[in-house]
Chain A
Amino acid sequence: MAWRAQPVGRTPGTIAAAGIFALVAACLAAVAWRAADDGVPSLGPADWAALRFTVLQACLSACLSVVLAIPVARALARRSFAGRRALVALLGAPFLLPVIVAVLGLLTVFGRGGWISSLLGLFGLPPLSIYGLQGVVLAHVFFNLPLATRLLLQGWQEIPPERFRLAAQLGAGPREVHRLLERPMLREAVPGALALVFAVCLTSFAVALTLGGGPRATTLELAIYQAVRFDFDLGRAAVLSVLQLALGLLAVVAGLAVAAPAGFGGGIGRVPVRWDRTGRAAQVLDGLAIAFAALFLLVPLAAILLAGLKGLPALEGPVWRAAATSLIVAGASTVLYLALALPVALTAAAGRPLAETAGLPGLVASPLVIGTGLFLILYPFIDPGRAALPVTVLSNAVMALPFGLRVLVPAARAELARSGRLAMGLDMGGWNYLRHVLLPQLRGPLGFSAGIAAALSMGDLGVIALFADPDLATLPLAILRLMGAYRMEQAAGAALVLAVLTLAVFWMFDRGGHARAAL
């Protein structure tokens, strides 16, 4: 990159990035050291089973999500109908929805005593069984079908409208349009989407914890958790962490090789004029795809709402205390996230693009791997239970970084390109530029990404489960415990509270960003 004077310093961002790398390196070193401590680490049959299951469920989840997303994205790309905007917006919701809430919704619909099982019972059929591989994959598809649909929809919308016009002029029908325009696009977009969903599912913990389990449905993340919590076998947890890390590294390298698309961007709101969608069969197919996607997303959400409303009166004090704890943790981790992300984004934008790699640890190292590392570091000195909240705040902030930087870095780069020279000419370097220009101009992306960080932290059920002692809980952990005690009504009520609070904090930050930026 060519040298060019910049109005912002690069030192704070470099320090922040170095701090993140140092922290993650310390965790990994602790894990590796512990793993090698007991001589040559060996893997038992259960560990191999966990590895196999992790890869198997991630493959299945990725393939199913993307294969189902293709017809949905195609339908959304070529039809305009009432509620299309709402449906596209709804596709963004599962990303923010706490995993445990979605799991409860899916249990209410697909569980043994759920809606579909009851329906089947009317016809004398046996109930569905959701626990195990099928349940884990179902939940992953619930989360990642929308993500994959958004990625592919973006691919469709990036086909220039003139191409469709040209194809129509050449007399191309749906089949030819598919061959000429859609298939080349899919060949580019599908591998990226597959890699992304695969990587997301590799680190699945909360889903496996609630819907998996047992020797046949345990992911590596879950195995790490069990090794620490149940067996207190830190050596084995460390070995499993190394495995998980290797898998994560592989997935990220594979993802970079196929260049996973961003998928957060705007521009998926419009429907281009097309001339190839007239066939009756195509219409029916699109209608079915849209109805399927809408039902698959809306029914579990409705289930949470209904079951939650019924459970609200049953809520007891500990749930509200856990809710307060969650809000504090989310607030603190959002502040920490901003303190890391802003300097890193500015440094990356101001001609040191390597700083952006500070997001990578959040992608490669899973929460439980980081958690295990921190546990190993802290354990000799203090009771890990007492460190539960600070450690959760820290890990949530690091995990939010890759998403946040993807939003912030391009925005910061654009603003520096727009006004950097002007500001330097006016001698308003550093603080003045930050206060009077960057912060006001970046309010939108800052608010949006802070909202994502807060929502992810609200719903996080990872490190906290590893560290917390029985009298401490965030709301997701409290729900997990209620489920474990078969108090499903209270669990549903608490899940509704969690969902509402999560969406509220996201909305608050996001609105805070837009309120004044819309000048």
Chain B
Amino acid sequence: MLRFDDVGVLNGTYRVTADMEVGAGGIVGVIGASGSGKSTLLEGLAGFLPLERGRILWRNEAIEDLDPGRRPVAMLFQDGNLFPHLTVAQNVGLGIRPDLRLKGDDKAAVEKALDRVGLAGLGPRRPGELSGGQRSRAALARVLVQGRPVLLLDEPFAALGPALKAEMLDLVKTLAAERGALVLMVTHDPGDVVRIADRVVLVDGGEARAPVQVRELLEAPSEELKAYLGDWAL
């Protein structure tokens, strides 16, 4: 169970507040206008930005004082998810050993993860030699070996075409279901939410609203949701 307990995240002089329970699993879409603070919320959760107040609890334990690498959280960003000078296998291996001293077992785990995301045999390549979709898959393979129970997606698939993006979203959904992970996914596209999410958090005016079921988004949206969606229709 992930809980934001009266949290305020500070990004420069801008702040985002959240006081809500998010649940222990499933896929949660995070939507809101540009600049409303979606990424700030996720960065606070991942530990890149400081909390000015409040606590973040995961399974009833406070995590807000932990370093980013010690939190139960893995995060994928809009870009720069792979180191361009390391091979794909090394990039994935970093999820197991940050000092890259990979033993036999570790290498096998890397191979297995690459296989799972459909990149079998591409370990020795560098990211520059992969297509955009393959790079996203490599980043997902690393998330797999990291084995963290919470996955944060800050629009990592935004640059992909519609078909590729749908493919990646489906892959995320399958992997998350296999592992019982909790996924928080920032997106600009309500279609993404409808495709894979079961709940939605709306960030509006610097405040994150408690999650609602996607059904509600479609059937009985709140005033804020209506204002955000405009005349969007599925």
Contacts and interface: CB of A to CB of B under 8 A. Distances in A.
A422 B82 CA distance: 8
B38 to A, nearest CB: 16
Interface string A366-386: 000000000000000000000
A421 B75 contact: yes
Contacts of B95: 426
B102 interface: no
A5 B48 contact: yes
A419 B80 contact: yes
B69 interface: yes
A418 to B, nearest CB: 5
A425 B46 contact: yes
Contacts of A426: 69, 94-95, 98, 146
B148 to A, nearest CB: 9
Nearest to A418: B80
B195 interface: no
Interface in B65-99: 67-70, 73-75, 77, 80-81, 83-86, 94-95, 98-99
B132 to A, nearest CB: 17
Contacts of A4: 48-49
A9 interface: no
A273 B173 CA distance: 52
Contacts of A429: 67, 69, 98
A283 to B, nearest CB: 44
A501 interface: no
B86 A436 contact: yes
Nearest to A421: B48
A425 B85 contact: no
B10 to A, nearest CB: 7
A424 B67 contact: yes
A5 B85 CA distance: 23
A424 B77 CA distance: 13
A10 B10 CA distance: 21
Contacts of A170: none
Nearest to B52: A3
A126 interface: no
B12 to A, nearest CB: 4
A485 interface: no
B47 A5 contact: yes
A421 B98 CA distance: 14
A419 to B, nearest CB: 6
Given A418-B80, A425-B74, A519 B126 contact: yes
Contacts of B77: 421-422
Chain B interface size band reads: 20 to 34
A5 B68 CA distance: 8
A424 B68 contact: yes
Contact of B75 (A2, A5, A425): A425
Nearest to B98: A428
Contact of A5 (B67, B81, B86): B67
A214 interface: no
Contacts of B12: 2
Interface in A2-39: 2-5
A4 B85 CA distance: 25
Given A5-B48, A421-B48, A425-B68, A441 B85 contact: yes
A387 interface: no
A432 B99 contact: yes
A20 B226 CA distance: 60
B47 A424 contact: yes
Interface string A140-179: 0000000000000000000000000000000000000000
Contacts of B13: 2
Contacts of B80: 418-419, 422
User: In the complex, which of the residues A5, A437, A440 has the most CB atoms of chain B within 10 Å of its own CB atom?
Assistant: A5
User: In the complex, which of the residues A4, A424, A426, A428 has the most CB atoms of chain B within 10 Å of its own CB atom?
Assistant: A426
Interface in A436-453: 436-437, 440-441
A469 interface: no
Contacts of B10: 2-3
B83 A427 contact: no
A440 B75 CA distance: 24
Contacts of B126: 519
Nearest to B143: A425
Interface string B131-170: 0000000000000001000000000000000000000000
B11 A424 contact: no
A427 B98 contact: yes
B84 A519 contact: yes
B110 to A, nearest CB: 14
A432 B84 CA distance: 16
Nearest to A417: B80
Nearest to A2: B12
Contacts of A2: 10-13
Interface in B149-202: none
A353 to B, nearest CB: 15
B100 interface: yes
A514 B151 CA distance: 37
A413 to B, nearest CB: 14
B50 interface: yes
A517 to B, nearest CB: 8
B136 to A, nearest CB: 14
A432 B146 CA distance: 17
Contact of B69 (A424, A436, A441): A424
B83 A437 contact: yes
Contacts of B84: 519
B85 A427 contact: no
Contacts of B43: 421
Contacts of A422: 77, 80-81, 83
Contacts of B98: 426-429, 432
Nearest to B154: A421
Contacts of A5: 47-50, 67-68
A91 B100 CA distance: 44
6 contacts: A2-B13, A5-B48, A421-B77, A424-B48, A519-B85, A519-B128
Closest 3 CB pairs of A and B: A427-B69, A428-B98, A424-B68
Given A2-B11, A426-B69, A426-B146, 12 more contacts: A3-B10, A3-B49, A3-B50, A424-B68, A424-B69, A425-B74, A427-B69, A427-B98, A432-B98, A436-B83, A519-B85, A519-B128
